[in-house]
Structure 1
């Protein structure tokens, strides 16, 4: 079964609409912008400067009933879903600004959400922003307290860093990054958010799903004994693919078909299966020390860079091994969940709303609990808004960035056929997938896919 928060319905700024004609070179704009420099500790925030956005965000806790004004970047299915969750569970919140590549995404979402939430939707036409740089308009808006970032993942670290530098509270969808360069940006942004007192909650809903929380607490309390090993699977059928439309540039096509290009999605292990990898990191209490694995492609379209399947052995401290597998192949049997083997028993933590159960080593059930993924989706947004109002910010970006990098480490191991360790990906790897010359009307290199033994570890 496919997680509804997966690539099938993720909100994305990577659309096929017609953004502003004056879109600049994104990589140069991102890397030379003072906002990102500030988030990386080299400009305003590092010197203690206070921006108007920071003052506005900080004032959110002055009145527990004060309206929290939301802006969103990436108004596709997942972005709209995140908005609906926040507006449904929170009182005194209001959507005031939107950014996407497609005008129709914003207008459709505004119409649908207005019917559901009435006066909570207050987006004037001049607060709908279209284009690769449209997110900047949301971050510059002094009325926006909280920004939801739901674009294709390749943009995520840069958008997070600039949102933190603008003093905004953040809800950032998973994954946090698709390469080691993005991970380092995220960890610095995490530290800056802690320093300035703004929240970052991430789209790892299982960490707020009651059966996950209780099961993992019981594991940590020793109910199944010492953890020996684990397995986790995210195996499903095929996934969407969008044929190229006539007259679009390479950039426009890749942004519209973003799941199939590694700089945008990080492949299925990073974009989709990161949920299960995050759960195993949570169970084990840390990121793994090494990753070794393989995989391949059999059914992908010719210009897709994705693999069909990846299988990784992750070794955690204490020589505890997690056998991980993800797969997207039509006609195959699905499997989505986690099994943790202990010296006294076995824990089964199913994905979605499958619930959790423990057995002893002979298979007799000793505990079980149901859980609702829909409730977990909403809870992450309630926790975020509550943290803003209370003046007790939640900053959880580093944890999600570590889980995202764990997925990246596994992908790097499979793509290259090498054993990859945590020290390499955090400290030594130079892998940086974001294009240096991204232009809305520009060309992109010919798509290619990784071949173990040929693809180099960098």
Structure 2
């Protein structure tokens, strides 16, 4: 595994799409027919205005059949009518077994022919090359996401992309390009930031923006949980194959907890503050991670936002520790508290009197993001929200880089000057990787 401090140096002004992902050309063989077809102009299915009551079937392909992928499938198949899963892609053939469960649960909404169960590191290309597929769910490990989404946009597909959108500045720049291309192409990109569609979050933050707690002064945000999964290497796996299998523990794939999981609260921070921060300064470390994991298990970051506003952010994954997933926003006239999952939200005045509250319902939010996506496709007014989630993902990266290096890091530097690119330039699914390593402040360099 490449040391987290050791990255290739390229000019940030280069086209990230062409300079970063050479593995797309050499990772493994792709048929000439697929490659040739991918170069042809594609009609965008669903981009034309339609009545939202239209019975036209929206055909779905999914890239990544892990837990989040099957969860996204279940959500969209539950809440939407006249949709159909018609193709899958994953590096692991065993994951296709989930289809039998989905078929029993959703009947004709799952109609994947055997020849459309694609397997391999290049399997996603078969999904993008299929002219019958309207919407692609991108639920692979995050390190692959920026380029996969960009290729989906180029292929004329509508996209649901899980969070985080990116794990480094190189990926962030690809996301911004993909967002602009999707707007121009009139293809949708909805992202897995379900709190943006959870009613108690939406209403609490609407009231904050309308002055319910006065001027926002500062905020605390917490995503503190217990342990996280870790997978044992299987016999015969290459280094790269194992790292993708155990992707959470390798920074080029997950971005660490702060990006992969805690981005939900970081997205709320940016939502409340109406934009990304100006700088970050932080710390953290590792006490309980298994050998071979590159992850830290805790981060504490001070984010500085415009108007001299501060956010104190903390995340951790330590077994046996107390969990806390919450956001508290302090204003000149009161305080708002928003809890994660089904915890609900409330607003209190300066005397501590509760003036508003609302229960939470996260399951409805998970499904609503998929309904909004499909409805926007049918209406010919596709939602494109990749930039917002990319900004939140990059805010997570900003905090991670500040903690890893022990330096104060500015948004301007990381987005405009940083040459940090975590994706291996010598990517080979069947190849070796150097030994894993983890960041040490004072030794890890700001790139």
**Cα separation, 2, equivalents of 1:374 and 1:224:** 28
Q: Relative to 1, partners in 2 of residues 1:220 and 1:132: Cα closer, same or farther, differing over 3 Å? A: same
SS at the partner of 1:167?
A: coil
CA deviations 1:54-99 (Å, max 9, x no partner) are: 3434358488220000000001111011011101100100000000
Superposed counterparts of 1:285-364, under 5 Å: 285-364=274-353
Show the counterpart of 1:104: 94
Match of 1:165 among 140, 154, 165: 154
Match of 1:66 among 38, 41, 56: 56
5+ residue gaps, structure 1: 1-25, 34-43
The answer on whether the counterparts of 2:294 and 2:438 sit within 8 Å (CA) in structure 1 is: yes
Match of 1:153 among 142, 152, 159: 142
Q: Which range moves more in the overlay, 219-228 or 63-72? A: 63-72
Q: Relative to 1, partners in 2 of residues 1:103 and 1:31: Cα closer, same or farther, differing over 3 Å? A: closer
**Cα separation, 1, equivalents of 2:427 and 2:264:** 29
CA deviations 1:10-48 (Å, max 9, x no partner) are: xxxxxxxxxxxxxxxx94243799xxxxxxxxxx99xxx
The answer on whether the counterparts of 1:295 and 1:310 sit within 8 Å (CA) in structure 2 is: yes
Show the counterpart of 2:6: none
TM-score normalised by length of structure 2:
0.91
Between the two structures, name the one with larger relative contact order (CA 8 Å, sep ≥ 6): 2
Q: Relative to 1, partners in 2 of residues 1:403 and 1:97: Cα closer, same or farther, differing over 3 Å? A: same
Match of 1:240 among 225, 229, 240: 229
5+ residue gaps, structure 2: 1-19, 28-36
Superposed counterparts of 1:142-291, under 5 Å: 142-291=131-280
**Cα separation, 1, equivalents of 2:270 and 2:145:** 21
SS at the partner of 2:259?
A: helix
Aligned-pair CA distance for 1:295: 0.2
The answer on whether the counterparts of 2:59 and 2:84 sit within 8 Å (CA) in structure 1 is: yes
Match of 2:363 among 374, 386, 411: 374
The answer on whether the counterparts of 1:207 and 1:213 sit within 8 Å (CA) in structure 2 is: yes
SS at the partner of 2:22?
A: helix
Match of 2:127 among 123, 138, 142: 138
| Structure 1 moving runs of 4+ over 6 Å | none
CA deviations 1:358-413 (Å, max 9, x no partner) are: 11122221110012000000000000000000000100000000000000000000
The answer on whether the counterparts of 2:23 and 2:427 sit within 8 Å (CA) in structure 1 is: no
SS at the partner of 1:233?
A: strand
SS at the partner of 2:45?
A: helix
State whether structure 2 residue 422 is matched by structure 1 residue 433.
yes
Q: Give the number of equivalent residue pairs.
A: 418
Match of 1:420 among 395, 399, 409: 409
Aligned-pair CA distance for 1:438: 1.6
Q: Which range moves more in the overlay, 59-68 or 223-232? A: 59-68
TM-score normalised by length of structure 1:
0.89
> What's the C-alpha RMSD, in Å, of the aligned pairs?
1.8
